[in-house]
Structure 1
Amino acid sequence: MRIGPYAIQPKVVLAPMAGVTDKPFRLLCKRLGAGLAVSEMTTSDPRFWNTRKSVHRMDHAGEPDPVSVQIAGTEPAVMAEAARHNAAHGAHIIDINMGCPAKKVCSAWAGSALMRDELLVARILEAVVAAVDVPVTLKIRTGWDADHRNAPAIARIAEESGVAALAIHGRTRDQHYAGQAEYDTIAAIKARVSIPVIANGDIDSPEKARAVLDHTGADAVMVGRAAQGRPWIFGAIAHYLATGEHLPEPGPAKVRDILLGHLEALHAFYGEQAGVRIARKHLGWYAKDRPENRAFLAVVNRAQTAQEQLRSTRDYFDALAAGVKPELPAAA
């Protein structure tokens, strides 16, 4: 799959997720096999570009090409200026958010709420495409609700506006993440447009990725929540798509090394205090698949310093790797 001049290989993409796909996580997922990693949603409002949060979200120094930055907003001219700003600060691809179902985003008529106004969609896409020399991509849902599943119309508008690729989550906005994603709408869109289509929604295993690609004819798959705590899923999917064979699940020693590297990157990127706090949610995701990890989380979440957090994590996974029961404080 190509997005403008960029070959996306392997054809498995990290979905943009607010509060998750920060620079440390993007770098980790790319290293472990993602062909592309899209940034957290960044605001198009220039009044907030110099806030601590936005500065972190717009930091792409040292990130391997291509860098994809997602922007969100409702005003065509403002979105166009945001695209120019991000392209000037390292973005190789500009992604437009019309898929976020969050209430605070939709209440401002951004995210997936934009799908309710196809004329505005066209104006935004045309303005952003005209504003930058880099490829522009779009992320949408199948529609606002079951009675307004207009993703095929939005896809046609996107193609006519010069959008270079389209990612589609197989749910309507009102579903949020409930129920099962459906892929028939994605297949119908892929059959009608010539631009690359990326299928998103409930892709949580190599077999599911293969099945979704076969069902939809999509050019790539996009993985979101299934990568939380399992960033190696990208390499597993890529290997399965290429060979039909499964990679072994990483053992405790491998998970330890991945997790410690992730924690150190978070501490360095955000500073110790914020890094320790932000790392706690990632520790929870890494630990969620093993019931015995609850005691570990009770201990590690009390850590106030980077060294405490790293030491508790290392000791716990060292014990698992050695095949012995980890020793944890009785208070856990």
Structure 2
Amino acid sequence: MKIGELELRKEPLLLAPMEDVTDHMFRSLCKQYGVDLMYTEFVSSDALVRDVEKTKRKLTILEEERPVGIQLYGKDPDALAEAARIAEAANPELIDLNFGCPVKKIATKGAGSGMLRDIPLMLKITKAVVNAVKLPVTVKTRLGWDHDSKIIAEIAEPLQDTGIKALAIHGRTRSQLYTGEADWTLIGEVKNNPRIHIPIIGNGDVDSPEKARLYFDRYGVDAIMIGRPSIGRPRIFKEIRHYLDTGVLLPPITMDEHVEMIREVLHKAVDHLGERRGILHSRRHLAVTFKGLQNFRSTKIQMLRSESVAEIDEILNGIKTDYAGFTPGDLQGSSDVQ
């Protein structure tokens, strides 16, 4: 699969952009597990143009992570064009436009999935960004604003006509947020439109190797993007890649391996952010990664209340001992799905 001049393997796996998750620490870990293309956290175009330091830090890309796309959001064409030029200077492989974020504070102000209620503005922004940079520009969006306005099949061609090089579609409407089941039928409809010639990337509910194989075969998408199933479980990319390539499932991860994987998430965050901020940053992963273990609630509460790495390390060591006979195969797929 090619996005502009960026060439990826057949049936590539992409890490979805997620706020407070897909920083370069988590991306580098996912890269170790075989992800093919990753995206930054959401980058506010307005904040980037205003030179906000916290936003500029989101542009950090390590060489070992590549290829990486920087995802921008906003609602002003001029600001987004300028932000795209700033992001291009950070030397990513592509620029991605966020027309899919359903969070209220973003969508109801007209940005993210709020663009699904103003298609002329969406197209104007996309064209402005395409014209502003030399890098490939891609778009991530949803089926529509709500059940009565699933317009993705109608807007895919106009988006393609602006010059974008790929389109990622999450199989839910904005009003669904992350509830219900992702509907991939419209994603397949876009992919199978003979006038569509850019790669179509499917996103939503892919939380197992078997489902990835099924969705590639059934809907014909060029790539699959995975978001929340990777939280606390970056190994999902290795599991899916192995199954796509061989048709054989990997042996279930052992509890020791699972704990050490989460310990690495924690320590990477602490090394980069310092102890307090690193622990806070890691809690999203700690909260979901052991879901499914019996009688685990008190341990989970203790772990999430811990304020030192030493204390969390001790708890993790205890989990390895207390659940030594437990094969955490049931943990695969236990995360919330995007």
Q: TM-score, normalised by structure 1?
A: 0.92
Matched, 1:305 2:308: yes
Q: CA deviation at 1:226?
A: 1.2
Contact 2:231 2:284 in 1 (8 A): no
Contact 1:240 1:246 in 2 (8 A): yes
Runs of 4+ in 1 over 4 A off after TM superposition: none
Match runs of 1:222-237 below 5 Å: 222-237=225-240
Q: TM-score, normalised by structure 2?
A: 0.90
User: Which one of 36, 49, 52 corresponds to residue 50 of structure 1?
Assistant: 52
> For residue 4 of structure 2, what is the amino acid of its counterpart?
G
1: CA distance between counterparts of 2:208 and 2:51? 37
* Secondary structure in structure 1 of the residue aligned to 2:305: coil
Matched, 1:273 2:276: yes
Partner of 2:167: 166
Partner of 2:247: 244
Partner of 2:76: 75
User: Which one of 282, 288, 294 corresponds to residue 297 of structure 2?
Assistant: 294
Structure 1: give runs of 5+ residues left out of the alignment.
Answer: 324-332
> For residue 107 of structure 1, what is the amino acid of its counterpart?
T
2: CA distance between counterparts of 1:201 and 1:236? 17
Aligned residues: percent identity? 39
Structure 2: give runs of 5+ residues left out of the alignment.
Answer: 327-338
Q: CA RMSD in A?
A: 1.7
2: CA distance between counterparts of 1:285 and 1:90? 33
Match runs of 1:16-165 below 5 Å: 16-45=17-46, 46=48, 49-52=51-54, 54-165=55-166
User: Which one of 227, 238, 262 corresponds to residue 265 of structure 2?
Assistant: 262
2: CA distance between counterparts of 1:284 and 1:232? 17
Higher relative contact order (CA 8 A, sep 6+): 2
Distance 1:63 1:75, change over 3 A: farther
Contact 1:164 1:195 in 2 (8 A): yes
2: CA distance between counterparts of 1:117 and 1:247? 45
Partner of 1:329: none
Q: Deviations over 1:217-258 (max 9, x none)?
A: 100111112111221111111111111110112111111221
Contact 1:263 1:310 in 2 (8 A): no
> For residue 8 of structure 1, what is the amino acid of its counterpart?
L
> For residue 41 of structure 2, what is the amino acid of its counterpart?
E
* Secondary structure in structure 2 of the residue aligned to 1:95: strand
1: CA distance between counterparts of 2:252 and 2:316? 19
Partner of 1:206: 209
> For residue 297 of structure 2, what is the amino acid of its counterpart?
R
1: CA distance between counterparts of 2:252 and 2:4? 34
Partner of 2:8: 8
Partner of 1:330: none
Q: CA deviation at 1:161?
A: 0.9
Distance 1:49 1:308, change over 3 A: farther
